[in-house]
Amino acid sequence: MPQSPFRLTKQQKQHFDTEGYVIVKGLFSEQNLKEIDETFEAISHQIIPGYFEPDLHSDLVDPLKRYPRVMHPHRFNETAKSYMLHQPIMEVLADLYEEEALAAQSMFYYKPPGSRGQALHQDNFYLQVEPGNCIAAWTAIDPADEENGGLLVVPKTNTLDLSCPDLADAKESFTTHYVKPPRDEKAMPVIMERGDVLFFNGNLIHGSYRNKTKDRFRRAFICHYANASATHISNHYRPLYRQNGQPVSLEVNPNGGPCGEEFEIVYPH
C-alpha cells in the first residue's frame, strides 16, 4: 500500500506531542482555497438564523457586528462540510491521534480590520471530549500575523489540566473567558501563510490578537475533531462525522458549550 503524502514526519509528530501544536503546509491546493473564498464570500451577504446573523447595515462601530463568525457551516453548506472532512486533514489527524478522527465542529472567522481578538482559552473546556481530547485544525485563508490578528499559543501548556476561566477584557476580546498562562510561560505569535494549517491540542492555551490593520482581513476556516475512541462530548458538537460523511453520535457530556461565549454589549447607534 503506497504511503500517503499527508503523513507527518517524526519531527512534526514530536513537536505536536511536546509543544502542543504543529503547522503543516500543503494540505490545501490553491483551487481548494478559492472554493472556500467563494463559499464564504457568498455566505457573508446572507443571514442564516442560528449560524450566521450579521447586521448587514452595520455602521461599523464594531466590525464583528457586520462580520460575526460563522458557526457550524457544515450543517447548512456542503462545501464547508467537504472541507471539514478534507482527506489530507483527516489523515494528519489520524497520525496525531494514532487512531481515526471524528469531525465535531466547523467555524469560519472573517476577522475584518479593527476587530477584537479572542482572549487566551482552552478548547476542550467547551468540547469536553472524554476520554481523549479535541484537536483543532486552524486553516489560514489569509496570511495571519501580529498585525492582522494572528494566533497566539502558549507552548507546552497542552500538558496542563483545564482551567476555570477568568473574565476577559471586553475591549480586546469578543469572548468572555480568559485563561491565565502559568508563571514564566508567555504567549507567542504563530505566523502563517495562506493555506497553512495549525493543529493544536485541546488543552493548549491559545488566543488571538486584535486586527490592528486598516485594510486586511484575517479569514480562517477552523474545525475541531475528537478521537474515535471518545465516548462523550458536549451536546453542542453532536453529531460528529467520519471522513466518509457517516454521522456518529457520542454520549452527551453535560459540561461544555459553544467555543467561547460572546460578550453582550450594547453599542451606541
pLDDT (tens digit per residue) in 83-124? 999 999 999 999 999 999 999 999 999 999 999 999 999 999
Residue 244 reports pLDDT greater than 70? yes
**Is residue 261 one of the residues assigned to a domain?**
no
Interval 148-158: pLDDT, tens:
999 999 999 99
CATH number, domain at 160?
A: 2.60.120.620
Domain contains 258: no
- Side chain identity at 267, as an amino acid letter? Y
User: pLDDT band at residue 4, thresholds of 50, 70 and 90?
Assistant: low
DSSP 221-233: EEEEEEETT--EE
- Checking if the pLDDT of 5 tops 80, the result is no
Give the other-Cβ count within 10 Å of 122's Cβ. 24
Say what the pLDDT of residue 84 is: 98
What span, in angstroms and rounded, lies between the C-alpha atoms of 72 and 107? Answer: 5
Distant-in-sequence, close-in-space partners of 49: CB < 8 Å, separation ≥ 6: none
Mean pLDDT of 247-269: 60
Per-residue pLDDT band at 7 (split at 50, 70, 90)? confident
How much is the pLDDT for 57?
85
What does the pLDDT look like over 138-149, one tens digit per residue?
Answer: 999 999 999 999
In the chain, what percentage of residues exceed pLDDT 90? 87
CA atoms within 13 Å, Cβ hemisphere of 223: 25
- For residue 265, is it within any domain? no
18-71 confidence digits (pLDDT tens): 999 999 999 999 999 999 999 999 999 999 999 999 999 876 678 999 999 999
Domain count, the chain: 1
The pLDDT of residue 53 is 96
Regarding pTM above 0.85, the answer is yes
> What percent of the chain is helix, strand and coil (3-state, nearest 5)?
20, 25, 55
- 22: domain range? 10-253
First to last CA, the chain: 62
Q: What is the pLDDT of residue 233?
A: 96
pLDDT at position 262 over 50 = no
Residue 260 lies in a domain: no
Is 17 among the domain residues?
A: yes
When mean pLDDT is compared across 213-227, 229-243, 248-262, the lowest value belongs to 248-262
Nearest to 200 by CA among 109, 126, 134: 134
* pLDDT digits 0-9 by tens, 56-80: 987 667 899 999 999 999 999 999 9
Specify if 152 maps to a domain: yes
Percentage of the chain exceeding pLDDT 70:
92
